C-alpha cells in the first residue's frame, strides 16, 4: 500500500529563507524589510495554490524568523509594524487550514510559541489571537489550554495583589479556550482581571455572542473597555456582531459611521457603500453629511466624484471648501457640466473672499473668475454670474480688497473720495 505523505514542506527550500536571518536588516532598512516581507508573501501565496501544506510550513518559518530579522530596524514610522501585522493576518489562515497531521501541527505550534516568547520588538504578537484556529481541532486547543492556564492563573493572582505581572501567552490561552469550547473558564478568568486590555476582554464578549446574547456581548465590551479603548475599535466590534446577526439597520444607525472612518471622506463613503450595498448613494451621502453638521462642505469632493452634482453644488456653498478644490472641479467640468462648473467657480471666489484657502495667489483668483464667466457663458447665465461676483466683491470681507486688486477692479468714486 502506497503511503500518502502528510506534508512535503520540510524538504522544500524557500527563496526568502536567507533574507530573514537574525539582524538581517539595518537601522534604516525599513523600506527594504517591507519589500522583503511582500516578496515572501508572494512566494507563499504561490505555494498555497499548489501545496497548502508547504505553504503552511513556509508561513511558520517566516513568522518565527520575522522578529529576529527586524529587531535592528527603526520602525518609528509605523509602516514596518503595519506590514508585519498584515503578514500575520494573511499567514495565520494558511497555517490553520494546512492539511497536516496532528504531530506536524504540534511541532509548528511549538515553534510559533517559542517565537512569540522571543517576540521583541513585538511584530507577531497578534498571532496569539489566532491560536485556537491554529490548533485546528478542539482536542489540540484543549491541550494547549491546559498547558497555558497555570501561567495565566498565576499572573492574575499576582495582579490581584497589585504586583506587576505579564504573560506573553494570555491571548493564546483565551483563544485556545474559546476554540476548545471552554467558554465559562474564559469568563471566570476575566472576572479576576480588574483592568483587562481590549485584546483580552474581547474574548468574554465573544463568549456571550456565541451564546446568541448579542446585546449583552456589546454591553460587556463597552462596560469593561475603559477609557483607553478607542471608540472606533468598539464600534467595529459591535457593528460586526450586529451584521452577523442580521440586524443591519441597527448596525448602520448605531455604529457604522464611527466604525468605518477612513483616511479620506471618499474612502469612508466607499467602505460603507461596500458594506451596505442596499443604501442608494445619495441616501448614504446624506447620512454622512448629517454626521458632520458643522462642516458639510467636507463631503463636496465625495459628491463630485459620485457625479451627484446637485448635492455637490449645495455642499460647495454650505460651509467652507478649499477654493483650489472648487476651482479644479470647475475646470474639469467646464464643458460636461457647465452649470455645476459655474457654481464651483463662484463658490471658490466666495470662500476666497472670506479668507479660506492655503497659499492662494492672484492667479488663483483670476482663474476662478475666468472659469465662472466661461461656464456662465456656456449656460447663458452671464448676468447672474456677474451679479454674484459683484456681490462677493462688494461686501466687506477679509480678502475682497486683495481680490479686487488681482482682478483689476477699479474702486468706486465714493470709495476713492473717502480715501
Q: What 3-state DSSP class applies to 74?
A: coil
Q: Is the pLDDT of residue 225 over 60?
A: yes
- pLDDT at position 10, please? 47
Q: Check residue 78 and report its DSSP letter.
A: S
Does residue 121 have a cis bond before it (omega within 30 degrees)?
Answer: yes
In 320-401, the DSSP E strands lie at none
CB count in 10 Å sphere of residue 334: 18
* Domain residue spans of the chain: 9-124, 296-410
Sequence-ordered list of residues with C-beta below 8 angstroms from that of 366, at least 6 positions apart, any chain: 406, 407
Query: How much is the pLDDT for 161?
Result: 87
81 CB burial (10 A radius; 0-12, 13-18, 19+): middle
Q: Over the stretch 63-105, which tens digit does the pLDDT of each residue have? A: 999 999 999 999 999 999 999 999 999 999 999 999 999 999 9
Q: Is 183 exposed, middle or buried (0-12, 13-18, 19+ CB in 10 A)?
A: middle
Question: Which backbone phi and psi does 194 adopt, to 5 degrees?
Answer: -70, -30
Q: Using CA atoms, how far apart are residues 114 and 121, in angstroms rounded to an integer?
A: 14
Share of the chain above pLDDT 70, in %: 95
The answer to which of 9-13, 188-192, 268-272, 347-351 has the lowest mean pLDDT is: 9-13
Question: Pick from 140, 150, 138, 130: which is nearest to 107 by CA?
Answer: 140
Q: Cβ(217)–Cβ(209) under 8 Å? A: yes
Amino acid at each position: 500500500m502506497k503511503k500518502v505523505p502528510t506534508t512535503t514542506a520540510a524538504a522544500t527550500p524557500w527563496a526568502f529563507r536567507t533574507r530573514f536571518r537574525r539582524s538581517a536588516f539595518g537601522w534604516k532598512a525599513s523600506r527594504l524589510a517591507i519589500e522583503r516581507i511582500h516578496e515572501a508573501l508572494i512566494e507563499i501565496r504561490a505555494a498555497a495554490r499548489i501545496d497548502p501544506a508547504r505553504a503552511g510550513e513556509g508561513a511558520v518559518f517566516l513568522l518565527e524568523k520575522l522578529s529576529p530579522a527586524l529587531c535592528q530596524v527603526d520602525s518609528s514610522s509605523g509602516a514596518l509594524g503595519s506590514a508585519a501585522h498584515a503578514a500575520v493576518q494573511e499567514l495565520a489562515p494558511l497555517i490553520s487550514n494546512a492539511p497536516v497531521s496532528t504531530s506536524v501541527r504540534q511541532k509548528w505550534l511549538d515553534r510559533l510559541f517559542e517565537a512569540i516568547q522571543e517576540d521583541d520588538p513585538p511584530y507577531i504578537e497578534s498571532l496569539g489571537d489566532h491560536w485556537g484556529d491554529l490548533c485546528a481541532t478542539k482536542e489540540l486547543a484543549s491541550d494547549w489550554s491546559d498547558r497555558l492556564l497555570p501561567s495565566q492563573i498565576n499572573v492574575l493572582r499576582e495582579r490581584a495583589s497589585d504586583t506587576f505581572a505579564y504573560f506573553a501567552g494570555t491571548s493564546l490561552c483565551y483563544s485556545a479556550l474559546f476554540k476548545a469550547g471552554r467558554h465559562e473558564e474564559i469568563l471566570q478568568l476575566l472576572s479576576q482581571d480588574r483592568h483587562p486590555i481590549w485584546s483580552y476582554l474581547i474574548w468574554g464578549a465573544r463568549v456571550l455572542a456565541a451564546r446568541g446574547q448579542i446585546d449583552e456581548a456589546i454591553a460587556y465590551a463597552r462596560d469593561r473597555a475603559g477609557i483607553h479603548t478607542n471608540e472606533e475599535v468598539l464600534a467595529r466590534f459591535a457593528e460586526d456582531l450586529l451584521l452577523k446577526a442580521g440586524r443591519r439597520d441597527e448596525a448602520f444607525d448605531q455604529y457604522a459611521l464611527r466604525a468605518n472612518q477612513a483616511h479620506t471622506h471618499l474612502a469612508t463613503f466607499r467602505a460603507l457603500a461596500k458594506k451596505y450595498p442596499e443604501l442608494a448613494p445619495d441616501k448614504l451621502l446624506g447620512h454622512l453629511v448629517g454626521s458632520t453638521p458643522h462642516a458639510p462642505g467636507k463631503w463636496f469632493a465625495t459628491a463630485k466624484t459620485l457625479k451627484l452634482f446637485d448635492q455637490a453644488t449645495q455642499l460647495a456653498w454650505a460651509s467652507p471648501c478649499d477654493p483650489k478644490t472648487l476651482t479644479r472641479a470647475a475646470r474639469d467640468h467646464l464643458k460636461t457640466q457647465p452649470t455645476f462648473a459655474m457654481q464651483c467657480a463662484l463658490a471658490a471666489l466666495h470662500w476666497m473672499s472670506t479668507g479660506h484657502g492655503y497659499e492662494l495667489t492672484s492667479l488663483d483668483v483670476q482663474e476662478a473668475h475666468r472659469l465662472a464667466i466661461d461656464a456662465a457663458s456656456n449656460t447663458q447665465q452671464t448676468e447672474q454670474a456677474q451679479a454674484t461676483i459683484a456681490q462677493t466683491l462688494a461686501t466687506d470681507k477679509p480678502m475682497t480688497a486683495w481680490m479686487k486688486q488681482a482682478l483689476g477692479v477699479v474702486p468706486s468714486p465714493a470709495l476713492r473720495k473717502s480715501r
